């Protein structure tokens, strides 16, 4: 009986695990790390910078815009959508965004002409879907109010092409 009990108990023990060894990994970021550091850099006094590398300006308080509704297109760590682009809404962009599941008209009654901090990915999506330089589905951009973090998803040249009067070089789509 003891032999039988010993055999039963010995079969119920967990098998020995062979675990993988963990090694230290060294990652070198090179120029990507420097670019990210430059994007995250703040100006004197800790102010956020715009894409022109100057202090970020207020975009709108009526309606209150920005991820934090401060009027600035600030991008705190909790803003996973990167609401960095200071755009001026058009009917065509509102339609474009609504067709993709984000009806901005439902957010405080936004209409054409409202200034709003846009997700970089949605602005870029409209930019990529444009049919030409005059396509109004791409909102105009206020570069001085566009957060530097926008450069993570869109080039400065692309933003300049849709900048409001006096801010862009070779503006495409006035």
Q: What is the mean pLDDT of the chain?
A: 81
Residue 3: inside a domain = no
35 in a structural domain: no
Q: What is the DSSP string of 63-88?
A: TB-STTSSSS----TT-TT---EEEE
Domain span at 159: 47-174
- Domain of 64, CATH number, reads 3.30.56.110
Least confident of 74-78, 133-137, 144-148, 168-172: 168-172
User: 33 lies in a domain?
Assistant: no
Give me the pLDDT at residue 100, please: 94
Mean pLDDT, range 9-21, rounded to an integer? 53
Domain assignment present for residue 2? The answer is no
**pTM of the prediction?**
0.72
pLDDT at 27 over 50: no
Residue 14 tokens read as 């967990």
Give the separation between CA 148 and CA 170, rounded to whole angstroms: 20
Per-residue pLDDT band at 132 (split at 50, 70, 90): confident
Rounded (10°) angle between helices 120-129 and 91-99: 100
Domain count, the chain: 1
């Amino acid at each position: 009986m003891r032999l039988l009990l010993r055999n039963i108990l010995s079969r119920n023990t967990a098998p020995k695990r062979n675990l993988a060894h963990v090694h230290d990994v060294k990652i070198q970021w090179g120029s990507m790390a420097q670019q990210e550091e430059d994007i995250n850099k703040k100006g004197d006094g800790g102010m956020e910078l715009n894409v022109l590398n100057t202090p970020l300006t207020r975009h709108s308080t009526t309606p209150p815009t920005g991820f934090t509704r401060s009027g600035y297109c600030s991008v705190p760590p909790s803003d996973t959508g990167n609401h960095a682009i200071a755009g001026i809404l058009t009917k065509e962009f509102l339609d474009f965004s609504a067709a993709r599941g984000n009806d901005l008209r439902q957010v405080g009654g936004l209409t054409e002409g409202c200034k709003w901090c846009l997700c970089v990915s949605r602005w870029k999506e409209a930019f990529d879907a444009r049919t030409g330089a005059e396509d109004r589905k791409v909102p105009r951009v206020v570069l001085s109010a566009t957060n530097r973090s926008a450069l993570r998803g869109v080039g400065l040249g692309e933003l300049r092409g849709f900048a409001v009067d006096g801010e862009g070089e070779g503006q495409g789509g006035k």
